[in-house]
Every structure is written in structure tokens, then in C-alpha cells.
Structure 1
Amino acid sequence: MESSELAQRLLDFVRRPEYRPMKPRMIARRLGLEDEAAAELKKVIKQLAARGQLRYGAGHLVYWVPPGPRPHHIVGVFRRTEAGHGFVRPQETSQDGRGAGDIFIPYEKTSDASTGDTVAVRLLPSRGALGPRGEVVEVLRRETHRFVGTYTDSAGGPMVQIDGNLFTAPIQVGDPGPRRLQSGDKVVVEMVRFPTPWRWGEGVVVEVLGPPGKPGVDTLMILREFDLPERFAEDALEEARRQAEAFDDSDLGGRLDLTGLTTITIDPADARDYDDAVSLERLERGHWRLGVHIADVAHFVKPGTPLDREARHRATSVYLPDRVVPMLPETISNALASLQPHKLRYTKTVFLEFTEEGVPVHMEVHRSAIRSHKRLAYDEVDAFFAEPEPWRRRWGAGLCDLLLQMRDLARRLRRRRAAHGMLEMHIPEVQVDLDRQGRVTGAHVVPHTESRKMIEEFMVAANQAVAEWLHRRGILFLRRVHRPPSLFKLKALREFVAELRLPNAGGSLEGRGWLQQLLDRTAGRPEEQAVHFAVLRAMQRAVYSPEEEGHYALATDCYCHFTSPIRRYPDLTVHRLVDEVLAGRKPRTDPTELLVLGDHCSQREQRAEAAERELTRLKLLAYFSSRIGEEMDAVITGVEPFGMFVQGLRLPAEGLIHIDSLTDDYYRFDRAGHTLTGYRHGNTYRLGDVVRVAVAHVDLDRRELDFRLVERAKSDKARPQRPEIPRRHRRRPGR
């Protein structure tokens, strides 16, 4: 192929509206180029980049440069501060992860941008060493047009003050019409004209949620704020009902009959959807045969159907403190697909054979049917592991011996993963306890117990095995990608560790070995919490992508999510590919479509986590609003020039200790060490330290919680083995 012809094909491809930046090898695959032409493609990309028609971005991604008079604009995400000015974080960073840094946007240059909007910025002349400055010249994409706020009817007319600090001034909403509104009511506003430094914002009230103290209003606020769907479309519900009517639990449908195999489910006690079951057999030569049986959601949710449309749009189930927003209707998620005990259920089964030491030697994938023999809860299994004999009389010797064998295998698998470089960080999840009105009554720790570790190991093994099975067949699929931390962040981490004066704190930053040694070396030491927080800050967020970039924390080059198709759409797409392969067909996958789908699923996952955090925050703010002065132990989760962020150990409420409230000294901020240190007395407060705080101020509308420092925790009794903060992962860690 001539270079000019290849260049034109390439330009036609990258100019498509659906094109997303990708690496040259992905472009070559998408264009169907063989080895020689693929090598030529790289030369053509460089030539076009030299002409200004293409450019390379972070990670060697290829971007199209549209023609026009605005080549110097920077695209990024805008964030407004409480004072009114803003910052824009550029979408691209350099190879070391540093990037150009946030761009400061003076208040009068923010235009009508709102927090979360994607904007185009023109750089302005810098003033001294304050860093880059700019002005917003265009809002490219709105994060949202709907906001939740408090309605007031004042002399200036009806207004809504948007919750939080998104907008410095209230929004004019005009006559609410026939709606019965009272000052103080929580409402949903559709923005008609976003505010600027020179004019008021205008909106219209589209929904009245009710007074803020009314039970359920806080949950409605979060559902609207994050645009979480409450109901399924009627055609999706009707299709789910048809699936239920058509399902025949006496028909195996040509599947492998595993109904005689002893399979069990182990889940939280309050779980309603059981999407995985496990089995274990001992083979000749001491080998193990682990069976991981996953609900066959793909049998009920076909591509292009109303059910698929809903599942794809939602992409994940959302677990709020007082309700679940499911990805699929309950007819599917809690009935047809759920692996309920003693009921015939369709599954995808992964059989994994291990040597006695836990080395994988063989795997098989089947379309199967099972009958779960027993539903167990994590707490029950942990109680059995602690004291087996009473449970033997209750469950019988067969089930008890099976559980002990499963624990034995899981421990061996875990030791092997640790030896291969898996990063071992487990921070217990703290869940708030609610009464029937949805009000906080307390909280409890969900520890990372033996039973949870066991199921996690089996799910990770199945996920990795399926990913490698698809990869060997040359199939493109949505991977679970966890990219390595940038060299810039690792250097910052090592500087922080050096400030702690730990022995042997040096080491190469190129591999994960230094990180794991650091975690192991600080286990049980006073510095443990500080190091764990610093390592977490250095890590990147795991995402979904077809790119072959591996999973850094799990120390594997090939990983996907397969084990939870009831609640995660990426798992469902992997199940469909497995069906195609088992049917003898080569799946057709479009790299660009997979990139777009991966971005969508990653964003939905992040939205779900943010919604859960924000509703928990709202409920905790309401709880503490009547408890001003109450004291608690807390861990420092962030150190900034203006103060320290802390999070309670008993209740996971995060708030600020403002530096102005530290009246015993004048404090200086050390960015490298994440510390505030007093000039006169030398008192130092560091990331991960445990301190005693008291509730000082609660602002429910601005969603702010201020603490005052009482004292540093006096003994290790106040220091938990791990900082008791909510896990950022879903309830089934590692799956």
C-alpha cells in the first residue's frame, strides 16, 4: 500500500465522530493491517504529526488535530472554588504523569463554566511564580444541567441556593407555577442560563423533593443529583416478565449438567442477588479442581433488547446506604439469574485445576446448569473457621470438610499471588447503621475476614483465567486495567517515606517490589497508616479498557471482570464473548466501540461510588448537626496549606480542621512530607496520624463539617490495626 493511500485511510479513520484516541497498534488492528503495513503506519503517523495533522498524547495515544484558528487552546475539566475562582485540570499529562499542572482561572475569566464541565482554556501571561493562568473561552460539554438546592421566596423573588459550593450566588427560578412550595424545601432545578461573573443564573424548578428533614428526601436528592434512574422502562420490565414465563427449570438447554455437584454460595447476610457459586474436588496426584459457577445473565439479556439497553445505560448496580439501584430488574437479578439454593439455574462454569501447591495447570469453560446446595453467609463461615465443631453437628461433616479444603486452597493461591508481587492493602469498610426512617444510629466495621479472602481468591482466579483464555484466542474484550503509578507520584511517595525516616526506605521505583516491601516493613508499626494513605494516593484508578495494559495491583498482565454479570455490564460483555467462542464462532469486536464502552462503564462506576459517598456524607451531617461538641478519634486523610482533613474511626465522617483553629502555634505546610509543623513548639501533624477531635460546625446546605482539634491520640489503643475508612471498592473486594 502506498504511503499516501495509507495516510488518507488513517485520516479518514481518525476524523470519524466516534473515534477515540488509541495507540498505533490498535489503529493498525482496526484498519486490518498486516505486520509490514502496520510498521509503515507508524512512519505515516509520525509524518502526519510533523505536519500538524495528528499529534501524540499521553500513553502514546494518537489524536486528530482539527483544522482551525485555535491550536493553542487547552481542553480540561473545570473546578470552581468556594471563593469563586477556578482551576482547570488538563486532560493530557506528560509521560511521567506530571503534566502542566492545574491552570488557575481568575473569577472574572471563568465565564459560565460549572464544576465538572469540560472546557477550552486560553492561557494568559503568568504573574510571577503562581503557575499557569488562563481564561475559559468555551464550555465543550456540561457535566449536568440539573441541580439540587434549597428554595427561598425573598423580596428579590423566588431563588434556589444550589447545595454545596458549586455556585456562589443563588439561582433565579421565577414563578414556580402550581407547585406548592415553601421556603426551605429541597427542589430540583433545570438550569436555563448558567451564571457568569456578570449575570445571575436562571433556572426552572422541575421537581419538589420536600423539606430537608423528611425521611427519604436525602436519598431523593442524591438520586436526582447524580441522575440515577429509579424505574426501569416498561418495555424492559415486560421483557423480563416474558423471560420469566419462558424459563423452564426442567430444561437444561443442552448445557453441562452439574446439578449433582456440590456447589455453595457465600455472600453477605443481607444479599439478595447471588451471582457466584463455588465447588471444589480433589483429583489424582493431590490436584485440586475448583469450580467457579457464575449466573448466566447473557442467556436472559440479549444484545440490542430493551433489557440490554437499560443494563448498558446503567452499567452497574448502585449500592446506597438505604437502597440498591440495580442494573437489571429484580425479576432477573433476584430471581431468574440469582443462584438460589436448590433451584436449577443456568451458569457459566470455569473449572480450574491446580497442583497441590496452587499452580494452575488447566482450565475449562462450559455453559452449565447447577443447583446450589447451600446458601452461606460470610459471618457463618468465619464462625465455623474459628470453632468448627458446633457447626459440624449443624451442617454435617461433608460441607464442613469442603469449607476447610477451600480455605486451604485459597491460602495457597494467596501466597502465590503475594510472591508474584501482588500489592496487599486491606482497609476495612465502615458501613453506617440506619433506623427505619433512614437516620444514622451508628456504624460497624466490615472486616476483611478469612471467608471474604477465600471467595476473593477464587473470583480473582476465575477472572484472570477467562481473560487469558480470550487473549490466547486473539479476541478483543473489555479488560480491567490498573495502570502503574506515574514516576512523578512514586518519587513524591519516596520523598514522603524518607520524611518518616524508615530504615531501607530507598529502592528502585521501576518495579512493584519496592512498594510491597514498604507495606510489609511498616505492618504493625506506628507509621503504617501514614504509609497506606500515601500509597493509596499514589495509585491510579482501575478502569475498563480493551488496551493490553495489565493490572498493576494484582501483578498480572491479563485481567477482566467476569464474575458479577448481575451487577456489572463489563462482565456481561465478557459472557457474550465466551458464548460466541463456545459456539465455534469468532466474535467480532470493534476497538473504537470497546474504548467508548469502557469509558462509559468506568464513568458509571465512578458515579456510583461518588453517589454512595455523598449520601453517606449527607446522613452523617444530619447525625452530627445535633451533636456539636461531641468528641471522637479520627485519622488525618489529607494535609493542605489551609488545614487538615480528618475522618472518624468510629463513624466515617470526613471534615476539616482549619489551620486558623490551631491556636497553639503558627504552622508551616510541607508538601513532600504531607505535614503541618509548628514554628515554635515543633508539633507535627502528618497524613495517617490519629488525633482526637470534636464536632465544631455543621452546614447541611453547603455539606460541610468542621472539627476542632482536642489532642493527639495518646496511645495505640486509639489506633486500629487498619484505618477504619470506607473501601473505595464494591462490597465484594477484588471481584
Structure 2
Amino acid sequence: MPDFEKKILEYVARPGYTPIREKALLKKVGGSKSTSSEFEQAMQSLQSRKEILVSDSGLIRPVKKEGWIAGIIKKINSGAGYLIPHHKPDDIAHDQRHAGDLYISERDMGDAQTGDEVYATVINRRRSGGQICGRVVEIIERASTTFVGTYFETQGEGYVHVDGKIFNSPIHVGDPGAKGVEPEDKVVIDILHFPSKSYLGQGVISKVLGPHGKPGVDLLSIVYEFGIPMDFPEEVLEAAREQASLFDETKLGNRRDLTNETIVTIDPADARDFDDAISLTQNERGHWVLGVHIADVAHFVKEGSVLDREARRRGTSVYLPGQVIPMLPEIISNGLASLQQDQVRFTKSAFIEFTSDGVPVHTEFVNSAIRVKKRFAYEQVLPIIQERDEEGDRIPRDVRELLKNMHHLAMMLRKRRFAAGALELHLSEVRLTFDDKHRVSGAVEREHDESHQIIEEFMLAANIAVAEGLNDRGLRFLRRVHPSPDYQRQVEFAEFVSALGYTLKKAQSRKDLQRLIEQVHGTAVEQAINYSMLRSLKQAEYTDEELGHYALAVEHYCHFTSPIRRYPDLTIHRMIDEILERPDKGKGQSPQGLRQLGHDLSLRERRAESAERELTKVKLLTWMVENKINTLKTMITGVESFGLFCRGVDVPVEGLLHISRLGKNDYFHQDPAKFSIVGERTGQEFRIGDFLEVEVEKIDLDRRELDFRMPRAEKSGKSKSKSDNGNSKQSGKKPTRASSKGKGAVKKKKNRPGKSPRSKKKKRK
């Protein structure tokens, strides 16, 4: 067999190599049609290890080229930034102070932007702290060429201020009035020439979204900014309708008929699609047999079909405030594959047998048909278990008994999981509430009580059981992994908690970390420590590599329980079909492309999370402007040399209190050892976890920035602040000075969640 990996690397590293596509490269390295599969496998392996680069157009480039370094650009506000290399050369790999990243000044950045993949070279210059510097020499691939912003005109020319902080200057879009655009409209533009230190960028308006501030325009802006597909093509909708016409609940085929079993769902009160249901019995040995029944999406979405291609393109459903953009058409996600009460539905069932003390001893997979006997909202469950509900005999005895047994087993599994070293961060989760005009009316904290924990434990148990079952069969599959954290990051976290007065004996001990989490629970520094711990950990992702799951303390884990909204789960369902159809011949998924698929799906998941986070921020800032919120009680969540990051206690939004706004009669400086800022004259200290009353100095909706200042006494005895809605730079209007009498902070109250908190949990896990 030809050593294609070596041949490919040698060929693309040749002096004068011009990027070509796979078909041409196959011939150049001596391959043929008969060896194309081995060549493809070598290509995927090299690409997954970032030893070669393949652009969206299919052109193949080397990572190392004539002394150049390939990597991703991350810019900072000044216009300078860093190259995060795919492979770190020896001269910068050991630069521990800066994690081996290459500093690039604004003049050496060219027109590279955050997220761009570039080649850079090391230059003969060092920063004052000794960090190695570089210069961008070539753009490999742009992170995006499409952006969203606010249109304005000046001196007879049209310009767009792009949302966020990616560009420091406006983009020129030519003659005014293109596509009927008006000043203050939100627009989508395609960049023709990216801006640099020397010249403005140029672009063209591709779509007008509507007037700045009009209801719904903020959502459209985020959707286009992140490139999230919204409407389904007609051919996809037609394919979904065809599946609906073919569905016959009476034709079960080889499915196990569970329609007479006691099976329930527990979901948010306003949920629309239900992809998991639970049964629980005891066998003749006194063992628990947990049935986790998951909507059989694979029955309707065949691999390679139009529906499959669209689902793979989307990768995940996107849960935005007030809007869900589904991965599959609603006729499937809310209909055929939704496990609705009293309806026969097709499922994949995992039956997990546990001993009386919660040790798993056997797992069985079957294709099944169920009929959910009772649908519960989370709020209904605990009162029934604790026999304090008001529904009396309306809940059948077998259902009541099922819920009590589910609670008993789930709490047992939860206790065993933490004893084994699992981590669970206590991170506050907030849901926005809306009025009848779809404007933010407030925010409430999501509850996460034992009713949520019941379902969470059973979903985790099913995901682990399926992963172990696939692994035991020697199959290659898409795992959900959470790599162990970097030692240096853990040491830094230990130093951080020490500065706050807590001791972390072993920085990499999960049990010590969980002990710390419990120790700070309910304290002023709880959120600061939990978020800092989260930042010290690596991100979970999808891959075929056996990297384990650090937070869950398990070796094998995959996503099986949500195929309606996650494409990785759908791939696992297809593998179960393969096992059931060919028990002795299943080979698992092809290695060709599996790691790349995991990489692509991880990116789509992060895109969805980023979009949700940004739209939440936009809506909260808009709410603050409209309600003239001028003062906030905050907690310090971050300390930097330039100031304090403060997060609202009642309004869950974060802003910057610049060091120059701490006081005019003192000089403040950062004390890194104590993670604080200290006044030299007064000794006044601001530390992470401290509560601070602040005034709103400026809100910039377009840049999504919130600036605070310390309260100052006016002659009237009242504090005042100004809120800039972000439009003054386009319209020429002066920032308005808002009254200090806002409509009050967002109240915390008991939550009727709009999206299952376990959706959030799954994202993290």
C-alpha cells in the first residue's frame, strides 16, 4: 500500500507548490481509482491533525510553508492581535507566558480579521515583555465574508457600521439608497475588500433587514451574522410531507410493541417536541430495568436523503430567545417523531439493567413502538412524588408508583456518579420573558430541582450505556469527549481560588474540584469561582478519538438521546440499526470523514451557542435602554489591568467598569496576586466576588457594549447617567441623558422554563 500521508506532505511542501484539489493531487502522488479510498483516508487523517489545510473550495495547502506558520487570527480592540498556530514551532512553543501564540501588531496584521486562517512569519522584533512577534503574509481562508450592520450616509456616500467589535471602522457600500435602504436600517453586506490600518473596507448590500429597533430585526441580524439557516427549502419540506404520508402506526414490523407499557415523558410546560420517554420496572432478580425510549428519527431521515443532507448542514436546532430554529421540519420534529401522549410513536429503546444499589449490569437495544401514558411538566413531578399534589386520583396508581421509583433510582445514580468523581458546576441560567409584542419584559432564573435531575440522570445513563455498548463491539463512532484540562490552567485556577481565601489541594483532582464547588455554594463568590473553573476546562466536542469525558468521569460517552435536535445523535441511531440488522458484521462508521464530521458538528454547536448568547445580550441591552435602567447592583466577575467586569445581580448582563471610572482622587492599579484592583492612596480594594452598585454610563447596541461608572452625586442629590443606544454615530444625534428613575431591575421568580434545562446541560456535556 502506498504511504499516501508521506507522499502528500512531501508534494504540498515542494518549493513553488500551487494549491490544487484532491482529484489532481491523487494523480500527482501516484494514486489511482483503485487506491482512492486509501488516499482519502490519508487526506482525512492529515486534515484532522492539521498537517494539511483544505479550503471550502477544496484547495489543499501545507500547514508549514517556506518558514511560514499557519493558524487562526484573534484580534483585540486596538487592532493588533494574535496568531494561534495549528502547530507551534519550537521557538514559540515554549513561550509559556503567552501559550505559544504569536503577537501581531496592527501594522503587521494586513487585512486579516478575527477567525481568519492565515500564514504568518516570525519577525525580528519582540514586545516589551519579550513575546515573539509575527506578520501576516497570506490569507488562507476567511472566517466569513458576510456581515450585519447599521447603514448610514455621509457626504453623499453609503456606509455600514458592522455589529460587534470585529471592525473598528465603517465599511463603504457605495451610492446611497441601494436596494431601497434608509439610514438606520439593519443590513447584510458582503465584503469585497477587507479593511486594514491603511484603508477602509468596501462591501455591497445584499439584504435589507429593516429599521434599527423594529421588533424581530434584532433576531434576523443575529441569524444572518452567524449564518444560521432559517427556512427549509421546498424539496426538504416535500420530503417531510412524504414521510408523513407513509407513516402507519399499525405497521410495527419487527418493532417490540411497548404500547401497553406504563411510559411517561417529563418536559417543560410549554415544550412542543418530545424526544425522550421513560419506563422503569423490576425483574425477577429484584434488579431495576430502566427503559429510555428515544424518538426514532432515523426511521424518517434516511442517510443520504434530502432530509439528511439538510439536517447535517444545520447540525443542531438553534434555541434563541423567543424563537427555535429546528434542525428538522416541524412535521417531523413536532409531529412524526414527537412522543406525544396517547399517540403511537416509533422509538429506539435502551433497556439498562441495574442492581438494587444502582450498578449497571446489562444493556439491550431494540427498535420499539410506544404510547406515552402521561405527559408531565417538571413542576408537576415533585408534588406527586412527595404526595402533596392536588390532582388526587386523577393520576393513576401505576403512574404515581413509576414516578416514585424513577426518583429513587435517579437519586441513587446521581450519588454514585459524584462518588466516582463527576463534576457539576453551579452556573446560574437565565430565561428572558416577553410581552405580547415580543419585547423583553424581564428575566427569570431557570430552576434545576430534582424533577430535572431525574431526567438528566437517565439521559446520562443511556448515553454512557450506548457508548460502552458500541465500544465493546469494537465499533468506530462519533463520541462526545471532554479532554482533561491543561495542567498550567488548573494551577492558575488554584492560585485564583487561593486569592479568594479557599484551598484547592490538588488542582487536577475532580473530587477536590467538586468539594470546592460545594464549599462555595451560596456564597458571594460562587458564580465567580464556577465561571473561572469552567474557563479552566477544555470544551467538549465530537470526535472519533477515545479521549474520555473529564467532567463526567467516564471513558466512553456519546449523544444518543436527542436526535430531533442534534445530528450526532442521529448517527448513533443509525449505528444501532446496523447492530440490530447485522449483529456480527457491523463495522461502525467509516473512518473517512468521521473526524471531520465531528469537527464540523462541534463548530455548528458552538455557532448556535454564540448566537443565543449574543441575541440574549442584545435584547437585555435594548430592554435597559427602553426602560432607562441607570443603576445596577452588580458582582465583580473579572479583574483586568484596565478595569473590572461586573455582572448584574438582578439583570443578568455584564459590563466594564474602566479603571479610570473608579475615582478621581486616587490612582488604582491591578494586584494580580490577589486578583484585585487597589487604590494607592486610600487602599480601597475591588476583588472578584465583591458586590458593587454602579451607574450605567453608556450602552452601545451595535457594538454590544455596556460601560459602567461609580455612582456620583449631582447637585440635586440624584444620580444620573446617559444611555447611548448606539445610533448616534450614524445619525449625528447626541447621546440622550436618561432619568435615574427606571422601571426597576428584572425580578427573580420561579421559572416556567421555555427550553429544557437539560438542553443546556447536554451542551456542556
Same fold at TM > 0.5: yes
Residue identity matched to 2:194? F
In structure 1, the residue matched to 2:514 is 516
Structure 1 pair 604–192 and aligned structure 2 pair: CA distance change class (3 A): same
Provide, for residues 173-194 of structure 1, a one-character-per-residue CA deviation record: whole Å limited to 9, x for no partner: 1136662221111111111111
Structure 1 pair 67–604 and aligned structure 2 pair: CA distance change class (3 A): closer
Residue identity matched to 2:51? Y
Overall identity of the aligned pairs, in %: 46
Asked if residue 83 in structure 1 is aligned to residue 78 in structure 2, the reply is: yes
In structure 2, the residue matched to 1:609 is 609
In structure 1, the residue matched to 2:733 is none
Between 1:674-683 and 1:113-122, the stretch displaced more is 674-683
In structure 1, the residue matched to 2:56 is none
Q: In the TM superposition, what is the alpha-carbon distance from 1:514 to its structure 2 partner?
A: 2.6
In structure 2, the residue matched to 1:698 is 699
In structure 2, the residue matched to 1:120 is 119
Q: In the TM superposition, what is the alpha-carbon distance from 1:350 to its structure 2 partner?
A: 0.5
Asked whether the 8 Å contact 1:530–1:686 carries over to 2, the reply is: no
Between 1:127-136 and 1:164-173, the stretch displaced more is 127-136
Q: In the TM superposition, what is the alpha-carbon distance from 1:497 to its structure 2 partner?
A: 2.2
Structure 1 pair 687–545 and aligned structure 2 pair: CA distance change class (3 A): farther
For these two proteins, the number of residue pairs brought into alignment is 687
Correspondence list, 1:438-453, <5 A: 438-453=438-453
Q: In the TM superposition, what is the alpha-carbon distance from 1:375 to its structure 2 partner?
A: 1.1
CA distance in 1, matches of 2:633, 2:411: 34
CA distance in 1, matches of 2:95, 2:574: 37
Provide, for residues 465-516 of structure 1, a one-character-per-residue CA deviation record: whole Å limited to 9, x for no partner: 00000000111001010011100101101111222333xx253344423322
Asked whether the 8 Å contact 2:696–2:707 carries over to 1, the reply is: yes
Q: In the TM superposition, what is the alpha-carbon distance from 1:386 to its structure 2 partner?
A: 5.3
In structure 2, the residue matched to 1:247 is 247
Asked whether the 8 Å contact 1:391–1:400 carries over to 2, the reply is: no
Q: In the TM superposition, what is the alpha-carbon distance from 1:396 to its structure 2 partner?
A: 3.0
Correspondence list, 1:655-734, <5 A: 655-663=655-663, 665-710=666-711, 731-734=759-762
CA distance in 2, matches of 1:101, 1:9: 27
CA distance in 2, matches of 1:111, 1:730: 44
Asked whether the 8 Å contact 2:575–2:589 carries over to 1, the reply is: no
In structure 1, the residue matched to 2:358 is 358
CA distance in 1, matches of 2:176, 2:470: 56
Asked if residue 548 in structure 1 is aligned to residue 546 in structure 2, the reply is: yes
Q: TM-score scaled to structure 2, two decimals?
A: 0.84
Of residues 42, 51, 56, the one that matches 1:63 is 51
- Give the match's secondary structure for 2:423: coil
- Give the match's secondary structure for 2:51: strand
Q: In the TM superposition, what is the alpha-carbon distance from 1:436 to its structure 2 partner?
A: 2.7
Residue identity matched to 1:110? M
Residue identity matched to 1:421? G
In structure 2, the residue matched to 1:42 is none
Between 1:531-540 and 1:629-638, the stretch displaced more is 629-638
- Give the match's secondary structure for 2:398: helix
- Give the match's secondary structure for 2:138: strand
Asked whether the 8 Å contact 1:92–1:99 carries over to 2, the reply is: no
Q: In the TM superposition, what is the alpha-carbon distance from 1:67 to its structure 2 partner?
A: 7.2
Structure 1 pair 273–431 and aligned structure 2 pair: CA distance change class (3 A): same
CA distance in 2, matches of 1:294, 1:365: 11
Q: In the TM superposition, what is the alpha-carbon distance from 1:157 to its structure 2 partner?
A: 1.0
Structure 1 pair 250–150 and aligned structure 2 pair: CA distance change class (3 A): same
Q: In the TM superposition, what is the alpha-carbon distance from 1:6 to its structure 2 partner?
A: 6.8
Correspondence list, 1:243-642, <5 A: 243-385=243-385, 387-502=387-502, 505-584=503-582, 585-628=585-628, 630-642=630-642
- Give the match's secondary structure for 1:707: strand
CA distance in 2, matches of 1:236, 1:310: 7
Unaligned 5+ residue runs, structure 2?
A: 13-20, 24-34, 54-60, 713-745
Asked whether the 8 Å contact 2:650–2:748 carries over to 1, the reply is: no
- Give the match's secondary structure for 2:444: strand
Q: In the TM superposition, what is the alpha-carbon distance from 1:410 to its structure 2 partner?
A: 0.4
CA distance in 1, matches of 2:280, 2:576: 22
- Give the match's secondary structure for 1:173: strand
Asked whether the 8 Å contact 1:14–1:64 carries over to 2, the reply is: no
Residue identity matched to 2:550? Y
Asked whether the 8 Å contact 2:5–2:46 carries over to 1, the reply is: no
Between 1:422-431 and 1:687-696, the stretch displaced more is 687-696
Structure 1 pair 710–561 and aligned structure 2 pair: CA distance change class (3 A): farther
Q: In the TM superposition, what is the alpha-carbon distance from 1:665 to its structure 2 partner?
A: 3.6
CA distance in 2, matches of 1:106, 1:62: 25
- Give the match's secondary structure for 1:731: helix
CA distance in 1, matches of 2:101, 2:668: 25
Asked whether the 8 Å contact 2:463–2:560 carries over to 1, the reply is: yes
Q: In the TM superposition, what is the alpha-carbon distance from 1:327 to its structure 2 partner?
A: 0.3
- Give the match's secondary structure for 1:733: helix
Asked whether the 8 Å contact 1:430–1:651 carries over to 2, the reply is: no
Structure 1 pair 522–56 and aligned structure 2 pair: CA distance change class (3 A): farther
CA distance in 2, matches of 1:432, 1:610: 16
Q: In the TM superposition, what is the alpha-carbon distance from 1:652 to its structure 2 partner?
A: 1.7
CA distance in 2, matches of 1:499, 1:10: 50
Q: TM-score scaled to structure 1, two decimals?
A: 0.87
Q: In the TM superposition, what is the alpha-carbon distance from 1:99 to its structure 2 partner?
A: 6.7
CA distance in 2, matches of 1:230, 1:477: 29
Residue identity matched to 1:501? G
CA distance in 1, matches of 2:757, 2:120: 34
Residue identity matched to 2:114? T
Q: In the TM superposition, what is the alpha-carbon distance from 1:553 to its structure 2 partner?
A: 0.3
In structure 2, the residue matched to 1:74 is 69
Q: In the TM superposition, what is the alpha-carbon distance from 1:165 to its structure 2 partner?
A: 2.1
Q: Say what the alpha-carbon RMSD is for the aligned residues.
A: 3.1
In structure 2, the residue matched to 1:152 is 152
CA distance in 2, matches of 1:117, 1:132: 20
Asked whether the 8 Å contact 1:628–1:697 carries over to 2, the reply is: no
Residue identity matched to 2:704? R
Asked whether the 8 Å contact 2:341–2:371 carries over to 1, the reply is: yes
Q: In the TM superposition, what is the alpha-carbon distance from 1:197 to its structure 2 partner?
A: 1.9
Asked if residue 103 in structure 1 is aligned to residue 98 in structure 2, the reply is: no
In structure 2, the residue matched to 1:52 is none
Residue identity matched to 1:520? E
Residue identity matched to 1:103? L
